[in-house]
Structure 1
Amino acid sequence: MTDLIEHETTATFREAGDAIVAARVAFAEWARTPAAERAAALKAAAARLRERIDELAELNHRETGKLLDEAKGGIEAGAGTLEQYAELGPAHRGRSLQGSWGATDLMVPEPRGVVVALTPWNDPVAVACGLLGAALATGNTVVHKPSERCPGVGALLTEIVAEQLPEGVLRCVSGDGRVGAQLAAHPDVDVVAHVGSTATGRSIAAAAATTGAKVLLENGGNDALIVDSDVDPRWAAEQAALGAFANAGQICVSVERIYVPRAIADEFLDALVEQAGKRPHEIPMPRLVDERMRDEVHAQVTEAVDDGARLLAGGEPGEGSFYPATVLADCAPTMRILREETFGPVAPVRVVEDFDQALREACDDRYGLAATVLTNSMEHAQRAWRELPVGTVKVNAVFGGAPGGAAQPHGASGEGFGYGPELLDELTRMKVVHMEPAPRR
């Protein structure tokens, strides 16, 4: 069996190398393709995604446990993102500079070359379409490696998009982290874009330091939710439950730690326990992606209880990889449940004296993806978005945002813009051109 595994791994390594070679060969022609033609290909791919939405959603459900309706929502979002980049790509422009009258000075964006996109399992179509769409719209070629937890979804998505493109412009390579490491360290790769764990992101950054490839990282998060004393505690509990339990907590910007003032803590906790009890019977909640993830989540919960946290709801693994909506009270800042990303349906609550303490403790974290504040105070909202060291701050809504928005992770959560119009800038490099006439003979 070991020999068979090693043989399959070696074959995959060859496929990865072949995909990069093909992408390098295809790059010159794809970069010269008019932006409008590249945009038309992306629009056609978006249409095909919508035509095959049921097939993709069912496959996503089987591989990761994602609820069918939510899987369809992710596919629809992915198709919309391809269309967004189809519109933004041709409008992506450089600048002309004011020099001498007889000269022309330009700053022109050019594609970087071969992009490796390493995409996650928790929203595999929506996230991948952002990276693929922006890279292809700007004239790059792409090698896509989806998570080994959803290889079928990643392969089918890549196939659907690649059908609209010339040979070699987009390829999929399946495999585990060893294959991803090979792709990230390949000397012919110009950009590595990764959405996943912080540990993997750091390995990618180290590999890219030896090759010169640009790195885009959206990695782990430990998103705080600050509840102010002037809000309705039951409404706040609904927001906390949505942020902590949606998709079983398997969202990059899930609520990972909650700070609530003592004045409303009892009412908030009662309401949060009530919200946990509604899942999955009244409010659907999926299983975790696999039993390994379930065990990791349960280990953090067990450790917190051993360290003095009170278990108010959940906390016992269910059938298969299901883990119940879990509420923990009396959490202390030193507990791992408050210091590290859990990525499961767990709501750890830290009771504080006031908003000042909540904001101070929320800021004390090595991650910097996102955070939320629930408040009726304009002063507190202003302080929160100014002081929280994260890429995205949400006021009075744990999820949401306008189309076309972007985010730039801070700290251990990564670097670079991972979506939005700014991603087009990340995936191009600027060339400065100065032209003036030669003297006549």
Structure 2
Amino acid sequence: MPTTAIDTAAGPDTAGSGGITITDPRTGEVLWTVPEAAPEAVNHAVEVARRATPEWAATAPEDRGAALKAAARALDTAAQELAGLNASETGRPVEEALAGIGAAVSTLEQYAELAPVHRGHSLRGNRLAADYTVAEPRGVAVLLTPWNDPVAVACGLIGAALATGNTVIHKPSERCPRLGEALGEVLAPAFPPGVFLTVSGGAGVGALLSQSEVDVLAHVGSSASGARIARAGALTGAHVIRENGGNDPLLVDRDVDPAWAAEQAAIGSFSNSGQICTAVERIYVHRDIAEDFTAALRAEAARRNADGSVAPLVDTRMRDAVHAQVSEALAAGAAAVEGGELPAGPGSFYPATVLVGCTARMQVMTEETFGPVAPVQVVDTFDDGLRLACSGKYGLAATVLSSNIAHIQQAVAALPVGTVKVNAVFGGAPGGAAQPRGDSGAGFGYGPELLDEFSQVKVVHIAAPPAPPAGQGRP
């Protein structure tokens, strides 16, 4: 079902030659097939958004904020329906989906409040002149968003882009297309026609949008896709914002309680079945507590597997990719003390898995796994663990569990990541924004700084005119 202003504006049929078939991650049954946007529809969406840009950019910031507040109210009203679609398409438990939608409502409300106060800066110059900067919208923003927290992540980008006066074309993940379309149907009525559009499709539609003459490309997803989008932006001149894959390390020092550290590791590795960009992907534990830590982590995983709290992965393709990494590690000498085997039965379930005997060359330690897998490597010293934690091509986040302030400060200074978390795998103050490094992306992805990413700055210098010639007064 096509979505929002693309439907109501005169234009070509949005249906492409193919469709996106979604299966239930819990049962494997086919749920529905959603049409993909045809190339003509993608081009038409860009044209519609471009036409709507001048008027939306000229809209008073407080009015843009009011529209965002209306969108937040509509989203809150539709939360239960959207959470059900989220659960159906991705397997995420309804309670967790509702929490994500609640976070999305709050994010829209926050950007609604920030819209009127996002401003430039005064500059120090000649006392008889005025120097300042003005923040202006970039234009048409294409937002390519993921499936693992689809509403919260999308609304972060949507809120910041619209608050700053850009028009938006949103392409939700092809793994949750009906949810993406429903989100568009909920939000679009809060804005003038053409300001917020939704286009459904897979990688081909995303490529067409990335190659279009737009002004911003914002992407949250895999590093491979992010690299392609960055190359496309370099050719078109679009400003690119990317939060991409991670291989986040957890460094466990010798002076912490191993049971508590194992609980933190389990939260970081198994929450949302490991399908979180900032999930714990590799663990370095000091040899002095390694045995107790591993036993406690195994118990944490076993409990989750026994009580059925590990939700399925989004689809069998993801499960196959996760199991391939686990199998490679096992073949290379690692051991699965819990999990590690494909379960019988329907759906795309994968057990919480603890691997021991891991080495730095295994894929589970070098690549993003994106599944409920906790690979453990024992280290002899904190310095050895920190050196390994600093290795690799990703730079999203890292966690340090330690009571040694010198080790903590050493890690904060050395870790080449956008976010360092100390003694808590998740959490942090609201509004935090970080810049990922390496293959994990570039640009601020959250917080007030995201408003700057969607803006371009104009410097203004106003000088006093020269004094009139003697004997001539000013008019």
Please tell me the TM-score bracket, short chain as reference: over 0.9
Q: Partner of 2:60 in structure 1?
A: 34
Contact 1:12 1:173 in 2 (8 A): no
Q: Partner of 1:162 in structure 2?
A: 188
Q: Partner of 1:225 in structure 2?
A: 250
Give, in angstroms, the shift of residue 280 of structure 1.
4.2
Gaps of 5+ in 2: 1-15, 20-33, 469-473
Segments of 4+ moved more than 4 angstroms: 8-11, 437-441
Give, in angstroms, the shift of residue 103 of structure 1.
2.5
Q: Match for 1:385: what amino acid? A: V
Partner SS for 2:307: coil
1:258 to 260, 277, 283: 283
Give the fraction of aligned pairs with identical amino acids, expressed as a percent: 60
Q: Does 1:331 align with 2:349?
A: no
Q: Does 1:385 align with 2:398?
A: no
Q: Does 1:292 align with 2:305?
A: no
Q: Partner of 2:47 in structure 1?
A: 21
Partner SS for 1:202: helix
Q: Partner of 1:151 in structure 2?
A: 177
Q: Does 1:172 align with 2:195?
A: no
Q: Does 1:313 align with 2:338?
A: yes
Q: Partner of 1:242 in structure 2?
A: 267
What is the number of residues matched between the two proteins? 437
Cα distance in 2 for partners of 1:66, 1:298 equals: 20
Q: Does 1:81 align with 2:102?
A: no
CA RMSD in angstroms, aligned pairs only: 1.5
Q: Partner of 2:382 in structure 1?
A: 355
Rg comparison, structure with higher value:
2
Q: Partner of 1:413 in structure 2?
A: 440
Q: Does 1:282 align with 2:307?
A: yes
Cα shift readout 1:237-278 (whole Å, capped 9, x = no counterpart): 000011000000000000000001111111111111100011
Q: Match for 1:380: what amino acid? A: H
Cα distance in 2 for partners of 1:396, 1:437 equals: 57
Q: Partner of 1:117 in structure 2?
A: 143
Q: Match for 1:240: what amino acid? A: A
Cα distance in 1 for partners of 2:308, 2:265 equals: 14
Q: Match for 1:378: what amino acid? A: I
Q: Match for 1:5: what amino acid? A: G
Partner SS for 2:250: strand
Q: Does 1:66 align with 2:92?
A: yes
**1:371-382 alignment, distance < 5 Å:** 371-382=398-409
2:396 to 345, 369, 375: 369
The structure-2 alpha-carbon separation of the partners of 1:376 and 1:11, relative to structure 1 and needing over 3 Å to count, comes to closer
Give, in angstroms, the shift of residue 162 of structure 1.
1.0
Cα distance in 2 for partners of 1:16, 1:5 equals: 14
Contact 1:78 1:129 in 2 (8 A): yes
Q: Match for 2:387: what amino acid? A: R
Give, in angstroms, the shift of residue 282 of structure 1.
3.5
Partner SS for 2:420: strand
Q: Partner of 2:226 in structure 1?
A: 201
Give, in angstroms, the shift of residue 438 of structure 1.
4.3
Q: Match for 1:153: what amino acid? A: L
Q: Match for 2:47: what amino acid? A: V
1:5 to 18, 22, 40: 18
Q: Partner of 1:303 in structure 2?
A: 328
Give, in angstroms, the shift of residue 153 of structure 1.
1.3
Q: Partner of 1:401 in structure 2?
A: 428
Cα shift readout 1:352-383 (whole Å, capped 9, x = no counterpart): 10111000111011100000000111111111
Give, in angstroms, the shift of residue 336 of structure 1.
0.8
The structure-2 alpha-carbon separation of the partners of 1:349 and 1:165, relative to structure 1 and needing over 3 Å to count, comes to same
Contact 2:37 2:199 in 1 (8 A): no
Q: Partner of 1:140 in structure 2?
A: 166
Contact 1:12 1:174 in 2 (8 A): no
Q: Does 1:48 align with 2:74?
A: yes
Contact 1:371 1:388 in 2 (8 A): yes
Q: Partner of 1:273 in structure 2?
A: 298
Cα shift readout 1:382-429 (whole Å, capped 9, x = no counterpart): 111111100000000000011111111011100000010100111101
Q: Partner of 2:471 in structure 1?
A: none
Q: Match for 2:428: what amino acid? A: G
Q: Partner of 2:27 in structure 1?
A: none
Q: Partner of 2:368 in structure 1?
A: 341
Contact 2:287 2:380 in 1 (8 A): yes
Give, in angstroms, the shift of residue 4 of structure 1.
4.5
Contact 1:198 1:414 in 2 (8 A): yes
Using structure 2 for the length normalisation, give the TM-score. 0.90
Cα distance in 2 for partners of 1:47, 1:244 equals: 34
Cα distance in 1 for partners of 2:130, 2:227 equals: 42
Identify which range, 254-263 or 91-100, moves more after superposition.
Answer: 91-100
Cα distance in 1 for partners of 2:396, 2:70 equals: 33
Cα distance in 2 for partners of 1:42, 1:360 equals: 45
Cα distance in 2 for partners of 1:11, 1:316 equals: 38
